[in-house]
């Protein structure tokens, strides 16, 4: 993740959480990196130049932040989007060009 992507993702996460100060920026940056690692570990690949992958990462990080003290299952919408990325990755490897 490059510096520009990190800043964009951090800004999006803070907007999602309704936070305007910079006191927790270091924590939120680490949270985003951890969220990306967890999604990749699940088998999905993210292209952080695409808005939908950026929002998926931010949503996953925001869910983790909000639910960190509770034993709450992941939101179904986030699960579906991660599973769709995994299926896309698997399908891309098997896809054949029709040229």
pLDDT of 98 reads 55
Structure tokens at 91: 């399908």
pLDDT of 90 reads 76
Q: How far apart are CA 88 and CA 90, in angstroms?
A: 5
pLDDT of 77 reads 95
- Asked whether the beta carbons of 98 and 76 are under 8 A apart, the reply is no
What parts of the chain have a pLDDT lower than 70?
93-99
Please state, as a whole number, how many other Cβ atoms lie within 10 Å of the Cβ of residue 54: 18
Q: What is the DSSP letter of 73?
A: P
Model-level pTM? Answer: 0.86
pLDDT of 35 reads 97
Q: How far apart are CA 50 and CA 41, in angstroms?
A: 20
- Where do the structural domains in the chain lie, given as residue ranges? 3-94
Alpha helices in the chain (DSSP H): 3-17, 25-41, 51-66, 76-94
- Asked whether the beta carbons of 2 and 54 are under 8 A apart, the reply is no
């Amino acid at each position: 993740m490059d510096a520009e992507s990190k800043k964009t993702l951090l800004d999006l996460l803070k907007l999602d959480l309704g936070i305007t100060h910079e006191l927790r920026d270091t924590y939120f940056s680490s949270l985003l990196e951890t969220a990306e690692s967890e999604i990749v570990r699940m088998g999905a690949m993210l292209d952080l130049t695409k808005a939908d992958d950026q929002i998926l990462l931010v949503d996953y990080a925001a869910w983790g932040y909000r639910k960190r003290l509770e034993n709450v299952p992941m939101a179904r919408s986030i699960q579906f989007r991660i599973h769709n990325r995994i299926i896309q990755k698997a399908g891309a490897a098997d896809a054949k060009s029709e040229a």
